[in-house]
Amino acid sequence: MPTRLFHISDVHFGVEDPEAISVVERAVAAERPDVVLCTGDLTQRATKRQYADAAQWFRGLKVPILFDPGNHDMPYYNLWERFTDPYRRYRQLNDNAGTAYESKDAVFVPLKTTVRAQPRFPWSDGFVTDRALENTLTRLGELKDDPRTIMVTAHHPLLGPKDDENPTIGGDRAFAAIAAAGADVIVSGHVHVPFDEVRERDGHSMRMLGTGTLSTRLRHGAPPSYRVITCKQGGDVETELRTLTPAHI
């Protein structure tokens, strides 16, 4: 059987949508995906309580979980911690509820697009550092000639909407390098609006997949949503976007 995953993002525990996460919880229990991928913004303000709620919910799914950190997952109120150890609470969640996962069909390579501070304000948009990109490219190099579908996972989309300015600093360069290194698809969140498109930079193309939020922080009229992704070897990827309209809830 092909590898099947649920892609969720931007749950924002603290302002989560209880009905939406309940729908996802029931779907996981009924369909038992091989893995759930959550591409960041697990919490709203990275408080200990919000992380505790997130850990309890994700552990309750009882399937492997892959996490990426989002810009909301670093402390907002504890500036000392934000600048000295911004991912401490995220690491604790990952240790308690996350897992390493790969299958005969798919392998997942993270790209960190968050930083503790940026030379602009606000600090919410993506920023791909040289070190983060190097780490991802090193892993992609190890997967050269691997027949499995290679998915890069990140919180921020590497490219902005078509014909718009790119809000992710370093995103164009990262997209071109990752596509050239053999990745089949990059999966992300952040914008709270789902998308599925093939983009190109410097002569290299790659598929970009994103899903909506599971929180009450809706944008551009997009309702809560999550995505079901089915993978076979060789970059064969099929997706189903599940929009959580009131009829579904």
Residue range 143-197, pLDDT digits in tens: 999 999 999 999 999 999 887 789 999 999 999 999 999 999 999 999 999 999 9
C-alpha to C-alpha distance for 186 and 149, rounded to whole angstroms: 11
Cα Rg of the chain (Å, integer): 17
Structural domains in the chain, CATH included, are: 3-243 (3.60.21.10)
Six-digit token pair at 204?
A: 């290299």
Which strand ranges, in their side-by-side order, compose the sheet holding 185-188? 106-110, 149-153, 185-188, 204-210, 195-201
Instruction: Provide mean pLDDT across the span 93-111.
Output: 97
Over the stretch 189-198, which tens digit does the pLDDT of each residue have?
Answer: 999 999 999 9
pLDDT at 122: 87
User: 236 by DSSP, 3-state: which?
Assistant: strand
Six-digit token pair at 90?
A: 């995220």
C-alpha to C-alpha distance for 144 and 154, rounded to whole angstroms: 20
pLDDT at 248: 61
Chain center to CA of 104: 21
Instruction: Provide mean pLDDT across the span 190-210.
Output: 97
C-alpha to C-alpha distance for 153 and 240, rounded to whole angstroms: 18
Report how far apart, in Å, the C-alpha atoms of 223 and of each of 68, 214, 217, 239 are. Answer: 22, 9, 9, 18
pLDDT at 222: 95
Q: Quick one: which of 195, 41, 64 has its CA closest to 187?
A: 195
Strand partners, 243: 225
Instruction: Provide mean pLDDT across the span 5-29.
Output: 98
Give me the helices (H) in the chain, please: 18-31, 48-61, 79-84, 88-97, 130-142, 171-180
Whether residue 210 is predicted with pLDDT greater than 80 in this model: the reply is yes
Question: Could you tell me the pTM of the whole model?
Answer: 0.96
Q: Quick one: which of 8, 6, 68, 60 has its CA closest to 33?
A: 6
